[in-house]
Amino acid sequence: MPITDTQDPILIVDIGNTNIVCAVFFKGEIQARYRFPSTVHSKVDEYYSLFGQMVPEYSLSCFKYIAYGSVVPELSRTFQTLFSQYSRAKVYCIDGLSPIGLRYIIKDPSAIGADLVANAFGAWQKYNTSTLVADLGTATTIQLINSEGLYAGAVIAPGMKTAAEHLFKNAAQLNEFELSTPKQIVGNNTQDALLAGIVWGHALMISGFMQQIEKKYPQYAPYTVILTGGLAPMIGKLCPSDYILESDLTLQGFYLALHKLISISE
């Protein structure tokens, strides 16, 4: 039975350096999502209690399938134990070694973050073209995946908030403030000037990378450009209009990868 036909909800867990994002899928659609901080020192029982508080309408025992990806080894072990103790689900870990059809130039695909694997697979499956995926989170990553599922490489840069926090911390006369899409590219006061430099600067960096990658790798053209991650809606307003905003690409990628692994193993 395809997992889109199952009457059981499916849990996807994306374990990042800053946050853990949980999404409940039912028949291919996200029904609920939850976010809480990544805390490596929290114990299994603490995460179980937190899950019960954050996701009161679902218990871990109600899921038939669970898929997770992690870039935090300590939390990988914690959640493996959590799922084995408190769920009856078939649990799949998604990473660069998962047999989902992606091919890699890198010699050791296990070094690729699980979130990047999910983004790459999700983009490839959804668009069936060569894609450039920019994920704007703690770090900003740009990935190149060709139309045949070749993961050709990536760019990793400091995330916009990460860079801004470093600037505020090291400049005595600058006060921290909420980031937002600037009204203009040149500011007439300190806050507007900072917004222009931080937000517009990040948008220009991304569009510049996209242009250079398309120029340097014409063999994979044409490209579809996708923006994802928590800061994508803010940055997307300043990027070319043909860039596609896919806020849930990572979660959808994990879900589609789970679908692929189940089709292989069952």
Active site residues: 115
Q: What's the gap between Cα 171 and its chain centre?
A: 31
- Looking at residue 206, its amino acid is I
Whether residue 73 is preceded by a cis peptide bond, meaning omega within 30 degrees of 0, is no
Residue 83 tokens read as 């799922």
Cβ-based burial of 155 (10 A; exposed 0-12, middle 13-18, buried ≥19):
middle
β strands within the chain, DSSP E: 10-15, 19-26, 29-37, 65-70, 90-93, 103-104, 130-136, 139-145, 150-158, 223-228, 244-245
List the end-to-end C-alpha distance of the chain, in Å, as a whole number.
Answer: 9
Can you list the alpha helix ranges (DSSP code H) found in 71-200? 73-86, 114-127, 160-170, 190-195
Distance, CA of 86 to CA of 249 (rounded, Å):
28
